[in-house]
Structure 1
């Protein structure tokens, strides 16, 4: 890959990591959009996005936990079944056109969430354990299939159904993303036996953006403006992927 192209991708990855980490996400859907728009093959996009996800989610988990927003009681039922299902999803490699449509839909769903009542921040009731465990299994499978950590599915679910406040949902999603990204990467590696070498400079950019974003998101920022900015970016990227599949 030409150094100029790699530098532009790394810069975009840094910005994506900052924006996503500020709302408790690790950025996989954004990394996938950047690498897809750069015409990289899905076979290298998926493991690369998962590696970046693991790094940024690790930082985000630490930052939101330190800020006092994490709830183990809310987290573990969602994680229980999601981890093995993320491995299964990571093992499966979808055809290119299916991959692009699925990722495009994921991005558009994420955008819909960020537009959805960004200022609402209350809790109606926590989900029952059976519901949380079953939901986690489905989310884990989609996480593995799409090369994401599943936070773009979990956070909207928690907030739209009012199962958690914004900061708690962000903290829960950060660790959910971490464990599912690890599981998904192991599943993908079991299938492909490779991780792209060019991921190293992207990892450095993602860690820098993720560290800054998770700090400001957990301690300084209201998520409302960031959600709307992300929604705009995701709508553009999602429509491009769906319409060009």
Structure 2
């Protein structure tokens, strides 16, 4: 996996990606997948590696947001009840590499729109989520996340903001734990069909955690992450274009 001639550039960019994602309560799988695609990693190694990185980075991000008191347990449970089993199911499936890239590119568009605040900033008019809404959203995002190899935060966070189910910091905290449980579940789904992790994956975890710790700390304690979002949106636009047209 680490035989790419530009691997050192990859290793330098990896903690930057994890920092940016962790700062907004995400694990970063969509960014890792895009980065691995840009550096021509083998498609079969991308999904389990991204899920592993997600587990660690989302976990540390959740810790910081939880510590600052932003976690909404009720909102999380509304999604998690169905997302966990459906991400496990999705993780058992494999898809064509070309289709894989196209679906990932479409999902990256959600991340770009979120970073540019297309879905709006936090609102004081918070609405209680209905149980049936949470169950449906959790199931759909869970299955699709397990299928693609992401935690689903790039979809869940915009939805929370769009429907005013929580404020920005609450959305980040809920998404971080949502990503963690979905990624862990999808990773178990991968293991159940015989897919294993390469030993180099844990080196990537150590490097990604550097950015993840700093990002989680910064994001949970700073009020405005707007500049970070614009930078990340720019990175994702480049990655999305590469995935769509190559």
Q: TM-score range by the shorter chain?
A: over 0.9
- Contact residue 4 and residue 39 of structure 2 kept, 8 A: no
- Residues 29 and 3 of structure 1, relative CA distance in 2, 3 Å threshold: closer
1:41: Cα distance to partner?
1.6
- Residues 141 and 235 of structure 1, relative CA distance in 2, 3 Å threshold: same
Structure 2 CA distance, aligned partners of 1:142 and 1:226? 27
Structure 1 CA distance, aligned partners of 2:61 and 2:196? 26
1:117: Cα distance to partner?
4.5
Aligned pair count?
Answer: 244
Q: TM-score, normalised by structure 2?
A: 0.95
CA RMSD of the aligned region, Å? 1.5
Structure 1 CA distance, aligned partners of 2:213 and 2:160? 24
1:38: Cα distance to partner?
0.8
Q: TM-score, normalised by structure 1?
A: 0.95
Look up the match of 1:50: 51
User: Which piece of structure 1 moves more, 188-197 or 234-243?
Assistant: 188-197
What are structure 1's unaligned runs of at least 5 residues?
Answer: none
- Contact residue 57 and residue 175 of structure 1 kept, 8 A: yes
1:67: Cα distance to partner?
0.5
What are structure 2's unaligned runs of at least 5 residues?
Answer: none
1:188: Cα distance to partner?
1.1
User: Which piece of structure 1 moves more, 148-157 or 1-10?
Assistant: 1-10
- Contact residue 10 and residue 201 of structure 1 kept, 8 A: no
Look up the match of 1:17: 18
1:2: Cα distance to partner?
3.7
Q: 3-state DSSP class of the match of 1:169?
A: helix
Look up the match of 1:138: 140
Structure 1 CA distance, aligned partners of 2:195 and 2:103? 24
- Contact residue 61 and residue 216 of structure 2 kept, 8 A: yes
